[in-house]
Amino acid sequence: MRKKDHRIQDLISTIIAYAVISAPIVILVVVMAFSCFEKVKNTVTFHSPFEKKVYYTVDDEFYHVSKDCPALKDSDRVYSAYKGELKEKTPCEQCSEKN
Ligand SMILES: [Zn+2]
């Protein structure tokens, strides 16, 4: 009887040891898989490859379809973003009509 108890105790401590060793690895894999999934979800759901990028400056209320728009000539910093991200900006009159 005592021998059997000892064996069960051995088994339990072995399981605990394995759990302690593998837990951080499992957590790391789960976190990595989750962040990967989030990244893929963000790119696929919100920005399809067919979605057009537009150009804008920080202090301008317009977004530009063309990077070569004359209105952007005086701006030293032009950023690009997906149209859906710039909901507060309106299309520029100079380049929106051509496209
Ligand atoms: Zn423009």
Banded model confidence at residue 36, pLDDT cuts 50, 70, 90: confident
Distance 53 CA to ligand 1 centre (A): 13
Domain that holds residue 82: 53-96
| Average pLDDT of span 90-97 | 87
34 with 65, same domain: the answer is no
Distance 67 CA to ligand 1 centre (A): 8
Rg of the Cα trace of the chain? 28
- At residue 17, the pLDDT reads 93
Distance 42 CA to ligand 1 centre (A): 28
Distance 66 CA to ligand 1 centre (A): 6
Question: What are the pLDDT digits (tens) for 37-92?
Answer: 877 766 655 566 677 889 999 988 999 999 999 999 888 899 999 888 888 999 99
Q: How many folded domains does the chain comprise?
A: 2
User: What CA–CA distance (Å, rounded) separates 80 from 92?
Assistant: 14
Q: What are phi and psi of 71, to 5 degrees?
A: -70, -20
Strands 79-82 and 90-91: unpaired
Instruction: Answer yes or no: is pLDDT of 97 > 70.
Output: no
DSSP 45-70: II--TTSPEEEE-TT-SEEES-TT-G
Distance 55 CA to ligand 1 centre (A): 8
33 with 67, same domain: the answer is no
38 with 66, same domain: the answer is no
